[in-house]
Amino acid sequence: MSNVALAEKLAVIVGDRFVLQRDGDLLVYNSDGLPGYRRKPRLAVFPGSREETVAVVRALADAGAAFVPRGAGTGLSGGALADDVVLLGLHRLKRVMSIDQENLRAVVEPGVVNLVLNKTIAPLGLLYAPDPSSEAACTIGGNLAENAGGPHCLKYGVTLNHILAITALLPNGEIMSLGNPEGEIDGYDLRGAFIGSEGCFGVALDATVRLTKKPVAVRTMLADFTSVDSAAHVTSAIIASGIIPAALEFMDEATIKVVESSVYAAGYPSDAAAVLLIEVDGNEAGVSADRDAIEKICLDGGARAVKVARTEAERGRLWQGRKKAFGAMGRMAPHLVVQDAVIPRTKLAPVLRRIAEIAAANRVTVCNVFHAGDGNLHPNIPYNADDPDESERVHRSMGEIMHACVDAGGSITGEHGVGLDKIGYIDLIFSAESLRAMCRLREVFDPDHRSNPGKVVPIHACQEWRATPAGRKSPASELVAVSAESQGV
């Protein structure tokens, strides 16, 4: 079907205003949170209701057209980029459909912004725990697709642990309930399989999320160090002590400097080699004891000082610097790459040393700001993507850092997703057989690879699943391998 004909068909469903096809209109959708990647959608469509979304996806299925679901486009893996396929924006589906205070759950549409949900439930003394740094803009649908994390996931778990059920719209237009909003899951955990599938298994029309009682007391501390090694060792020591902080965040000197010179200045000590932002929560007596224990571990481990936020405003300021650090890096250069590898927590110090060596050898600036308690690194490199020499050095550095993390026993992504950005690294941690298994799982949900084609698992991995295991001929080996044409792209 031609672009014009498809656009007309979709406009009948959503109205002319909500179908974009001119290059100028689509420009803003050419990137997500990683502006170094650009892909132009063939058109963009923005349904305004659940019914319109179902009608749009069915129309796309009828037309055999591939599409990329997108929330707020804040993702950091190029996962929401539509490369000459339809971009399906879901940010208009933003109803909080119900809140059940007694049973600690809410039903929300995918376009509900994470922070909006939290502001809605805050007066009830409740919170929705996963808190990505982009919480002010990112949507629950996007969080669900990426299995998003955030600083407080150290104690409370990631999105997966907070989604009880999903009403899913499969790529063929069928609606299916995954999980059980009111009881146990009996049978395969399709909810679990769908969460974090990066939009490759379909679209969430709504999600039943688990709410958490707001802790009675919170203590937020900033420990500053004159050496990165000390901060890394203290991180491991806090985790090993048995205390589970609500959050344990690391910022290095380069990050501190850029934050402190921005409008998000948080009062971090500019001469520190690293700071740890540590939060504990619970009841008043418990957090006081945890604070004392953590303060001692920090000071014993070489911290110059441990500052405790005395007011909610002070706490907010300390967090602002951390949460807006990505934004502050926009002052350094027009583009930014960030990685998201996770390493075992005992390997923090050696891996951070290795990252510093890689940065020096490639003459790039790495700003480390990350979830230290989980071992979830975020090395950021601000750069100018229009400078080919610098781009080459930056991407080489990123590759070397990724290898260092995998060599340390880590994973290539902890919360940002594979998307487009890390698809070249996924075979560092999964065998061809494992990737084929993932591909086959995807094909159960989306046999034609029409939902977010070309992401997460490289296409070549999908072609040999039906080949023989251990030389034995499988009865299904006659099945046609997925070709580029059958993807509908």
Structure tokens at 397: 């550095």
Asked if 437 touches another protein (CB under 8 A), the answer is yes
Least CB distance from residue 400 to another protein, whole Å?
14
Return the sign of the alpha-carbon dihedral for residues 347, 350, 356, 361: negative
Which residues in 246-285 contact another protein (CB under 8 A)?
A: 282-285
Q: Which span (218-226, 259-267, 301-309, 436-444) binds another protein, by CB under 8 A? A: 436-444
Instruction: Report which of 375, 221, 384 is spatially closest to residue 296, judged by C-alpha positions.
Output: 221
Residue number with CB closer to another protein (50 or 422): 422
CA 325 to each of CA 83, 302, 367: distance values in angstroms, whole numbers, following the listed order: 29, 25, 9
Tell me the Ramachandran region of residue 358: left when phi exceeds 0, alpha when psi lies from -120 to 50, beta otherwise: alpha
Beta strand residue intervals within 174-259, DSSP E: 175-179, 203-210, 212-213, 217-225, 247-252
Contact 132, 149 (CB under 8 A): yes
Contacts of 300 (CB under 8 A, 6+ apart): none
Stretch that binds another protein, among 52-60, 62-70, 251-259, 339-347 (CB under 8 A): 339-347
The yes or no reply on residue 418 touching another protein (CB under 8 A) is: yes
Return the structure tokens found at 8: 């007309």
Scan residues 71-100 and list those touching another protein (CB under 8 A).
Answer: 100
CA-CA distance, 455 to 446, in Å (whole number)? 13
Q: Looking at 45, 195, 294, 309, which residue binds another protein (CB under 8 A)?
A: 195
With respect to another protein, which residue has the nearer C-beta, 108 or 254? 108
Rounded to a whole number of angstroms, the minimum distance from the CB of residue 141 to another protein is 16
Contact positions with another protein (CB under 8 A) in 174-193: 176, 180, 182-193
- The nearest distance, CB 22 to another protein, in angstroms, is 35
SS3 (DSSP) at 276: strand
Q: How many CB atoms lie within 10 A of CB 98?
A: 11
Nearer CB in complex with another protein: 94/450:
450
Residue 409 is a binding residue for another protein (CB under 8 A): yes
Verify binding: residue 463, another protein, rule CB under 8 A: no
CB of 255 to another protein, least distance (A): 20
Does residue 247 contact residue 155 with C-beta atoms inside 8 Å? yes
Binder to another protein among 342, 359, 394, 398 (CB under 8 A)? 342
Q: Which residue, 175 or 361, is less far from another protein as judged by CB?
A: 175
Contact range with another protein by CB under 8 A, out of 106-114, 320-328, 390-398, 404-412: 404-412
Q: At what angle do helices 284-300 and 228-240 cross, to 10 degrees?
A: 140
Using the contact rule CB under 8 A, the part of the chain among 21-29, 89-97, 296-304, 439-447 near another protein is: 439-447
Q: Which of residues 357-396 bind another protein (CB under 8 A)?
A: 371, 374-376
- The rounded distance, in Å, linking the Cα atoms of 322 and 310 is 18
CA 154 to centroid of chain Cα atoms: 15
Written as one letter, the residue type at 100 is D
Residues 143 to 162 in contact with another protein, rule: CB under 8 A: 146-147, 149, 153, 157-158, 160-161
